[in-house]
Structure 1
Amino acid sequence: MSSTTATKSGAGKTVLITGGSGYVAAEVLNAFLSRGYNVRTTVRSEASAEKINKSHSKYIDQLSFVIVKDLQTPGGFDEAVKGVDGVIHTASPFFLQVENNERDLIKPAINGTLEVLKSVQKNNPDVKRVVITSSFASIVDIFQGGRPGYTYTEKDWNPTTYEMAASQETPGAISYCAAKTFAEKAAFDFVKENKPNFDITTICPPMIYGPGATDLKHLNTSAADIYRLINGSEKTVPETNFFSFADVRDVGEVHARAYESLEAAGQRYLCASSGYTYQQVADIIRKDFPEKRDLCPEGTPNAPYPDVYKVDNSKVKKDLGMEFRPLQTTIHDMVAQFIAIEKA
């Protein structure tokens, strides 16, 4: 990893990071706090603020909090954006099983993003950059499946229509992916139509893994996805649906670099390390953690990598100088943390 973090480039500056209690947000916080920025973050409750103070205790003097209970409330971010130098918008609903796709997934994603941008435009002309956490979900064409021979880049957009995503016949996972697309497009359209003082940069990570668990009873979706492979609950190696991953620590770092880079203005970045399969994950766990071999499904060890799409991360490497952690490091660090928590 690069040593930019040692330069304290953010000393004396303040950024707002929305949704500070999230899995990705924790590493976005680390990336900015370690650079010396003061970080104001939105949370839904005092309990969430306490949790962040505890997990980022060495930076407690640089942290402050604003409670925003609902991302969609008009003007809900007005106070939060005042007096900051920049904004990093990570907050977004992540549920796949919902009662109503439009109400519970699509509208909150779009409105939450637009409310942040409106608040910045109305209340803080000093902000020059807003970085938005989007997703590989807004790039991938789910209906093409594994799509052998294809390479996804930042030029690709998920083609799901609003009508299809809003339909109750459509599975939540497809609507969730579409919601990320609509929110990201809405942000670019907002800048084009309103010509605010700021530009935006969007970050599109695929499956995100890496350490970040604090207790095993309340695991986020990503942590639960890997923990099931060491707790005996999975008897077979699961089917891989998304053939691309990033380490959560790298995703945090990309947000900070995108904020500080002049070149990143108006860009979207596919923030991925490489392809992966659950078979590769199981192989790493069984090799690195012999004590978990009996609980981790064996599958077909060292199976050849399937003929599926690739992801091109050359743009984020070139523009932002990123190097990504390999799967082995990410899974090893994640499982080591699970085992430490189990022992504690």
Structure 2
Amino acid sequence: MPAVSSPAKVLVSGANGFLAVYIIKDLLERGYTIRGTVRSESKNAYLLNLFKKEAQDGKFELVVVPDITAPGAFDEAVKGVDAIEHTASPYHYKADDPSEIIDPAVKGTIGILESVLKHAGPQLKRVVVTSSISAIMSPESNGVLTEKNWNDSSITQVRELGRAADQGAKYRASKSLAEKVAWEFVEKNKSKIAWDLTTLCPPFVYGPILHDVRSPEELNSSMALFYEAIFTKRKTLGELAQIQSGWVDARDVSLGHVRALEVPAAGGERFILSGGEAIWQDWFDVLNELDIPDFNVPVGTPGAGKAFKYKQTFDNSKAKEVLGIKFHEKPETALDIVNDLRAKGW
């Protein structure tokens, strides 16, 4: 199956996002040339300064794609690239009408693939789409989940309830539908394309902040939850006790994107990128054991996570075996996040 290596040119959509900036950094450090897309010129300055040397050397450029749902939005951006990392997709729990979150996810994904088909050129070898564990699991899921699982129940709930569906279902449906249309597009057009598709499915993603965030209020959803739980303590212990989830370090997700381009066997596959499962008590325990000077962490019920029975767990063996990822452990991730956010004065 096709694969790429540096100094190939890679298009990264949603270049100013939490994960995208990590991906760009890792690819540039490996010698790739990057074209990133942003929604407006105002998003350019931070990234062009962050990757100043690469921009001056012609290794990093940005193009504006103001509306990823518009027909032909990516027509110019895809021209001449060897691979694509499609990370641009909304992540929030604020949609009234489900279309507010589903349309950007689905139309953005199908739109970039349509542009690829028409304009990318024969040099394109691989398209990697950032999906989500939400495309694999639903609240009804039980046991060990693998890449063979699909979340169809959230799609059904949204179709049946519309605006009345819960916010989690709306988000999960957007990720399931976006990934499904990508695989359907490839199957439908397999006689016309020489490139292949890889999808990556992470759960909650935590890590130090590289992208342009000037206050805690601007944090992306995963990191906002971490900040609220550990720093502000606005989430009560009772509220946090209801949350069980998979988690992964942002640096591992970024490495997954790099390896998804470079490993031939990754083509045509989907991967769960999960570092493991956690309840918030685990993070409390880890941080209290680290005993960071002048930093108070909730105590909760120490050790409660060790006996916790998860309703669902995620099998990450495929990512380890095919992509060669060695996932971060909680102590390193937690310490790096705390040091980073404290250095920002938060």
Q: CA deviation at 1:240?
A: 4.8
Deviations 1:234-281 (A, max 9, x none): 452612534211100110010010011110111000011111111111
**Structure 2 residue 285 is the aligned partner of structure 1 residue 283:** yes
Instruction: Identify which of 176, 181, 185 aligns with 1:181.
Output: 176
SS at 2:248's partner residue? strand
User: Structure 1 residues 241 and 232 mapped into 2: Cα distance closer, same or farther (>3 Å)?
Assistant: closer
1:215 aligns to what?
214
1:100 aligns to what?
97
Q: Distance in 1 between matches of 2:40 and 2:198?
A: 28
Q: Distance in 2 between matches of 1:111 and 1:291?
A: 47
Q: Distance in 1 between matches of 2:130 and 2:264?
A: 18
2:194 aligns to what?
197
Question: Structure 1 length as normaliser, TM-score?
Answer: 0.91
2:68 aligns to what?
71
Deviations 1:175-217 (A, max 9, x none): 1111101110110000000112211000000010011164334
Counterpart of 2:220, as a letter, is: N
Q: CA deviation at 1:56?
A: 3.1
Q: How does 1:1-344 map to 2 (within 5 A)?
A: 9-11=5-7, 13-60=8-55, 61=57, 62-101=59-98, 103-124=99-120, 125-144=122-141, 147=142, 150-160=143-153, 162-166=155-159, 167-195=162-190, 196-212=193-209, 214-217=213-216, 218-228=218-228, 229-236=230-237, 238-288=240-290, 289-293=292-296, 296-303=297-304, 304-308=306-310, 309-342=312-345
Q: Distance in 2 between matches of 1:161 and 1:250?
A: 27
SS at 1:292's partner residue? coil
- Tell me whether 45-54 or 125-134 shows the greater mean CA deviation: 45-54
Question: Structure 2 length as normaliser, TM-score?
Answer: 0.90
Q: Specify every segment of 5 or more residues in structure 1 that has no aligned partner in the other structure, as ranges.
A: 1-7
Q: Distance in 2 between matches of 1:16 and 1:249?
A: 19
1:4 aligns to what?
none
Counterpart of 1:110, as a letter, is: V
Percent identical pairs in the alignment equals 35
CA RMSD of aligned residues (A): 1.8
SS at 1:132's partner residue? strand
User: Structure 1 residues 335 and 57 mapped into 2: Cα distance closer, same or farther (>3 Å)?
Assistant: farther
Q: Distance in 2 between matches of 1:316 and 1:164?
A: 30
Counterpart of 2:282, as a letter, is: Q
Q: CA deviation at 1:298?
A: 1.5
Contact 2:83 2:126 in 1 (8 A): yes
Q: Distance in 1 between matches of 2:165 and 2:34?
A: 39
- Tell me whether 299-308 or 86-95 shows the greater mean CA deviation: 299-308
Q: Distance in 1 between matches of 2:276 and 2:282?
A: 12
Q: Distance in 2 between matches of 1:180 and 1:235?
A: 29
Contact 2:146 2:315 in 1 (8 A): yes
Contact 1:77 1:119 in 2 (8 A): yes
Counterpart of 1:165, as a letter, is: V
Q: Distance in 2 between matches of 1:28 and 1:336?
A: 21
Q: Distance in 2 between matches of 1:34 and 1:94?
A: 27
Q: Distance in 2 between matches of 1:83 and 1:319?
A: 28
Contact 2:69 2:111 in 1 (8 A): yes
Counterpart of 1:67, as a letter, is: V
SS at 2:276's partner residue? coil
Q: Distance in 2 between matches of 1:135 and 1:165?
A: 18
- Tell me whether 169-178 or 278-287 shows the greater mean CA deviation: 278-287
Q: Specify every segment of 5 or more residues in structure 2 that has no aligned partner in the other structure, as ranges.
A: none
Counterpart of 2:108, as a letter, is: G
Q: Distance in 2 between matches of 1:161 and 1:281?
A: 29
SS at 2:281's partner residue? helix
